[in-house]
Amino acid sequence: MMNSRSNRWLLILGLLAGWLVLPASAIAGRKRVVVLELEGPKADKFHADLVKLIKKTHTVIPIDKWNGTAEELDAGGGSDKDLKKIAKKLKIDAIIQGKVEKRRENYILQLKVHAGKSGAMVGGRIDVKAEGPRIDGQTTTDLKDELIPAIDGIASNRGGGGDDEGEDEEKPTKKKKDVKEDEGEDEEKPTKKGFGKKKDSNVDEGEDEEKPTKKGFGKKKDVKEDEGEDEEKPTKKGFGKKDDEETNALRTKKDEKKPVVKKDEGGDEEDSPLPKPKKVVKKDEGEDEEGDGEKKPKKKVARKDDGEEEEEGVEASGDEGDGPLATSPGERAIDGVVGLSFNARRMAFTYSADLGNNPKPYKGVPVAGILVDVTMYPLAISHKRHDMLKNVGLTFMYDKVLKIQSKQGTVTLPTAQARFALGAAFRYPLGSKAVVGGTLRLGRQNFTIGTSNGVSSDLPNVNYTILDPGAFLRFAITPKITFNLNVGFMAFLGTGAIQKNDSYGAATVTGFEGEIGGDYLLTKNIFARAAFKFETIGFSFKGTGTMTTGRDTDTDQDVFGARDNYLGGAVTVGYLY
């Protein structure tokens, strides 16, 4: 019969056993996972973020290790059988496949989870939405709710027992301590792996390199002692000496395991087809596989897949701000041009056929001017917003004729012509190539003819105050060529002297304008623009002005209307941001 003292000791022993078992259970719960290349827009960014997320709870195997093993096993077809074959070799529990789709401003991440043990898909497809080209807060929550539990539920593919070999990739600092104590003995003592003593591992690096072969014993100590063995296995054929390259390439899996048995029995290093364990040790020390030129780029890619160097690469490239997407019609923050414009005015009147003193038309020739036209979307300057507010902008236009003259008979009269407008703009992208939008501007346009030597023009001056709502289309025909179309209605708040009672008097005035042209991208931010434009303004006089009724002897209305047209174009150079 047990007394109270025995019960206390049993309780203490039970607590100690639980304390020792819990950490091992937690480690055993980590799965070995590989995230294969994603397809679609911004796939690299989503891949890096996905790897980061999974690494918080599981061990992620670098993608280059998977690709190297697939090539070695001739299993790159992507079938369930191939997935199973590679996963078995690398002892991978879960395989993640997926793609990215862009739907207007959002991105849809579609993922499939395969079991490493069978290669077959587990459960249904996981779809999550991101508002931008990265895994954001809500997307992270959705993945934790759906993807992580799916990985947790997959059976281990490590055949009983060993702790996660992938842990060695996250504990590189534990290896350096051993390496520093003895870098010279690792080539001479690789055969002592079987001793498994912590004391010996500190003395001999080479022993560290070989100990993972005892993973079947389930000792946590042995797993920690070697962090390089896991990286060595899928790429063994590149480690052999030049004299043994052909032999290593034809070596079977059975042959690969034989040297391990011989070494445990104290065999000589020269009998092993793996004569260079030191190179693996150096790789863990950050020397990037100096002994194998073919593996160098793959090592760098692997680090990117771990999500660490990838993040730096995105920042260095400026994210979206420096790419062609940032200056596409639907994403640009600034679109400004400056250059030459060409305008020709034509004005004619409608009047009675029997009117002898009819108003003379105006027939201008194209004259050059200076044009500045800028549209800016302030909230799009960072190129990081994805809401509709980034599509609200401001627009400004100024067009002034440099030199123009008019003639009345033989007398040359000074003339001036200019237009400016200021207003708001809004755009709405239709996919990645087309953008539609609208503008609402308030502006002035004048055409004035002065006097010279007491001679004045029979044509009254105009000084239009215009409210012009408009619409536009931008369509990227190619990455370098963009088609532009603008149309607008002109509502007149004033017309100047032409509607005074001593001129043509009150009238109903309406107008329309349009522009058609294109851009050619010269550099990433500089482009050339050519455009043809027109305005047509119609007057319907009400017969209250002197010049509509007083051109003959009666008081009847003889001048009924007028049409004021402006035809021209522009050749400009612009800047995009």
SS3 of 477-497 = CCCCEEEEEEEEEEEEEECCH
Give a yes or no: residue 121 inside a domain: yes
pLDDT value, residue 266:
39
Is the pLDDT score of 69 beyond 60? yes
Is the pLDDT score of 171 beyond 70? no
Q: In angstroms, rounded to a whole number, what is the distance separating the alpha carbons of residues 277 and 330? A: 55
- Full residue range of the structural domain in which residue 3 is found: 1-27
Residues 382 and 525 in one domain: yes
Of the chain, the percentage scoring pLDDT greater than 70 comes to 66
- As a whole number, mean pLDDT of residues 44-50 equals 90
Proportion of the chain in helix, strand, coil states, percent, rounded to 5: 35, 35, 30
Residues 447 and 390 in one domain: yes
- As a whole number, mean pLDDT of residues 295-320 equals 40
Greater pLDDT, 308 or 480: 480
Residues 80 and 105 in one domain: yes
For 490, the token pair is 């002109």
pLDDT value, residue 16:
59
Give a yes or no: residue 170 inside a domain: yes
Of the chain, the percentage scoring pLDDT greater than 90 comes to 43
Choose the weakest-confidence range: 290-294, 445-449, 496-500: 290-294
Greater pLDDT, 571 or 43: 571
- As a whole number, mean pLDDT of residues 285-310 equals 41
Choose the weakest-confidence range: 16-25, 152-161, 302-311, 426-435: 302-311
Q: Residue 246: CB partners within 8 Å, gap ≥ 6? A: none
**How many domains is the chain partitioned into structurally?**
4
Residues 53 and 85 in one domain: yes
Residues 94 and 17 in one domain: no
Choose the weakest-confidence range: 54-58, 120-124, 281-285, 482-486: 281-285
Residues 170 and 209 in one domain: yes
Last-in-domain residue among 104, 124, 152: 152
Give a yes or no: residue 287 inside a domain: yes
Is the pLDDT score of 211 beyond 80? no
Q: In angstroms, rounded to a whole number, what is the distance separating the alpha carbons of residues 113 and 444? A: 64
- As a whole number, mean pLDDT of residues 4-18 equals 59
Residues 108 and 135 in one domain: yes
Average pLDDT, the chain: 76
- As a whole number, mean pLDDT of residues 278-291 equals 42
Is the pLDDT score of 368 beyond 80? yes
- Pick the closest to residue 518 from 488, 473, 487 (CA basis): 473
pLDDT value, residue 10:
62
pTM (2 d.p.): 0.49
The listed range with the strongest mean pLDDT (94-108, 113-127, 501-515) is: 501-515
**Which strand ranges, in their side-by-side order, compose the sheet holding 94-103?**
59-60, 32-35, 94-103, 106-115, 126-130
pLDDT value, residue 13:
63
Residues 71 and 136 in one domain: yes
Is the pLDDT score of 281 beyond 60? no
pLDDT value, residue 17:
56
Confidence band of 329 (pLDDT split at 50, 70, 90): confident
Give a yes or no: residue 295 inside a domain: yes
Last-in-domain residue among 152, 185, 218: 152
pLDDT value, residue 243:
46
Confidence band of 522 (pLDDT split at 50, 70, 90): very high
Residues 13 and 98 in one domain: no
pLDDT value, residue 6:
55
pLDDT value, residue 159:
62
Please check whether residue 488 is in contact with residue 513, taking contact to mean a CB–CB distance below 8 angstroms: yes
Pairing of strands 32-35, 94-103: parallel
Other C-beta atoms lying within 10 Å of the C-beta of residue 556: 11
Rounded to the nearest 5°, which phi and psi values hold at 119?
Answer: 80, -10
Give a yes or no: residue 545 inside a domain: no
Choose the weakest-confidence range: 91-95, 101-105, 172-176, 440-444: 172-176
Please check whether residue 552 is in contact with residue 558, taking contact to mean a CB–CB distance below 8 angstroms: yes
Is the pLDDT score of 450 beyond 60? yes
- Pick the closest to residue 557 from 575, 537, 542 (CA basis): 542
Confidence band of 491 (pLDDT split at 50, 70, 90): very high
pLDDT value, residue 3:
53
pLDDT value, residue 8:
63
Greater pLDDT, 386 or 172: 386
Confidence band of 432 (pLDDT split at 50, 70, 90): confident
DSSP code, position 235: G
Is the pLDDT score of 447 beyond 90? yes
Give a yes or no: residue 573 inside a domain: no
Residues 231 and 270 in one domain: yes
Choose the weakest-confidence range: 302-311, 398-407, 424-433, 557-566: 302-311
Residues 178 and 293 in one domain: yes
Is the pLDDT score of 265 beyond 90? no
- As a whole number, mean pLDDT of residues 227-238 equals 42
Residues 275 and 386 in one domain: no
Residue type, 8: R
Q: Residue 145: CB partners within 8 Å, gap ≥ 6? A: none
Give a yes or no: residue 539 inside a domain: no
- Pick the closest to residue 175 from 303, 60, 287, 89 (CA basis): 287
Give a yes or no: residue 409 inside a domain: yes
For 234, the token pair is 């899928």
* Exposure b/e, 363-396, CB count within 10 A at least 16 = b: ebeebebebbbbbbbeebeebebbeeebbebebb
Confidence band of 393 (pLDDT split at 50, 70, 90): very high
